[in-house]
Amino acid sequence: MKEITVGKVPGTLSNIAVNEDASVANALEAAGLSPDGFEIRLNGSVATLTSPVPDGAKIFLVKKIKGNQSVVTVGKVPGTLQDIAVESGATVAQVLEHAGLAPAGFEIRLNGSEASLTSVVSDGAKVFLVKKIKGN
């Protein structure tokens, strides 16, 4: 079995397992996704439904729009983290909204530093909501 990341951009990405001989079509079917109306990207390059899927692959269904997409890790700490895809130039507020997270009662951290809801994220950014604890 191979572990890969698959999802729509912008949208939530999922980690799934596929067979060793899986194609992009097999991976999308396993994830319950339809490629209709999307461009298929395999590890950043345009792919087809018959493209073979290497272990650790990232398959994104990208809306055909102007601009780039960014993949951001977001979550509560301690807690579960998830990778989501957002439009380039998205703010922390947009990332949190897309992830379904509310910042109330939490300190916002962007790549380890304190941030605000208006801070702009970049590809590969880490946005964490850290529980406010007295004495820290």
The tokens describing 63, both together, are 């809306």
At 124 the pLDDT is 84
Q: Residue 19: its pLDDT value, please?
A: 93
Residue 56 C-beta-side C-alpha neighbours within 13 Å: 0
pLDDT in tens, 97-127: 988 899 998 999 999 999 999 999 988 899 9
Cβ contact 108:120 at 8 Å:
no
Here the tokens at position 7 are: 């999802």
For residues 38 and 75, give the distance between their C-alpha atoms in angstroms, rounded to a whole number: 27
- Give me the residue label for tokens 């395999």: 42
Distance CA 135, CA 20 (A): 50
Task: Give the pLDDT score at 131.
Answer: 86
SS3 assignment, position 50: coil
**Residue ranges of the chain whose pLDDT lies below 50:** 66
pLDDT value for 66: 47
The domains of the chain, with CATH numbers, are 2-63 (3.10.20.30), 69-131 (3.10.20.30)
Q: What's the Rg (C-alpha) of the chain?
A: 16
Residues, the chain = 136
Predicted local distance difference test score (pLDDT) of residue 65: 54
